[in-house]
């Protein structure tokens, strides 16, 4: 199952970029053996200042044509890491070819894009900067792959 992260804004060089690349590399290494790779990052920018609506249009265009869409949103469902891993395994086992995570910009996602998503996921009630949300998602993807492959990374 191919995994896409579709996010508003470009992550520049710095500690967040280093962490993101590290976790995505780890995820691909671990996930490939269990059918959860490759992963691709699609960054979009609204250079015309159209706000959430313009960002939603750009995100929609970045999504794979047929994919399970997971929107990251503070109003979404809270999951433990093992429960998140189970969702990934279930989508994979159901024969889903593509899984796409959507991360909005500073103002979040439009209600229409959240409603279009197959699943809305929350990393808690706190709002996280969209640049850190990418890093947190990539770490949870890696953690899920280690849970599913029986690796020692996750200690519950």
The length of the chain in residues reads 156
What is the CATH T-level fold of the domain 2-149, as seen in this structure?
A: Alpha/beta knot (3.40.1280)
DSSP assignment, residue 65?
A: S
- Pair type for strands 98-103 and 68-78: parallel
- Identify the pLDDT of residue 53: 93
pLDDT at 130: 82
- DSSP-derived 3-state class of residue 113: helix
Report pTM: 0.95
Element of type H or E holding 131: helix 130-149
d(CA 108, CA 8): 9
Cβ(66)–Cβ(98) under 8 Å?
A: yes
pLDDT along the chain (156 residues), means of 10: 96 93 97 95 89 94 96 96 98 96 93 96 89 95 97 87
Residue closest to 70 by CA, chosen among 113, 32, 41, 37: 113
CA distance 111 to 98: 23
State how far the Cα of 68 lies from the Cα of 17, in Å rounded to an integer: 25
Q: What is the pLDDT of residue 92?
A: 97
Per-residue confidence (pLDDT) for residue 2, from 0 to 100: 97
pLDDT confidence of residue 156: 73
CB 111 within 8 A of CB 16: no
The predicted structure's pLDDT at residue 126: 86
């Amino acid at each position: 199952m191919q995994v896409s992260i579709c996010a508003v804004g470009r992550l520049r060089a710095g500690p967040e970029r280093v962490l993101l690349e590290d976790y995505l590399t780890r995820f691909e290494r671990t996930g490939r053996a269990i059918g959860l790779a490759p992963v691709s990052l699609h960054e979009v920018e609204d250079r015309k200042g159209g706000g959430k609506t313009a960002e939603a249009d750009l995100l929609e265009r970045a999504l794979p044509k047929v994919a399970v869409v997971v929107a990251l949103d503070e109003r979404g469902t809270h999951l433990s890491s093992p429960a998140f891993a189970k969702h990934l395994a279930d989508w994979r086992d159901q024969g889903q070819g593509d899984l796409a995570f959507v991360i909005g910009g500073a103002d979040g996602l439009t209600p229409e894009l959240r409603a279009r998503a197959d699943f809305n996921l929350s990393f808690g009630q706190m709002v996280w900067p969209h640049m850190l949300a990418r890093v947190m998602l990539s770490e949870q993807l890696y953690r899920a792959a280690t849970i599913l492959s029986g690796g020692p990374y996750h200690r519950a």
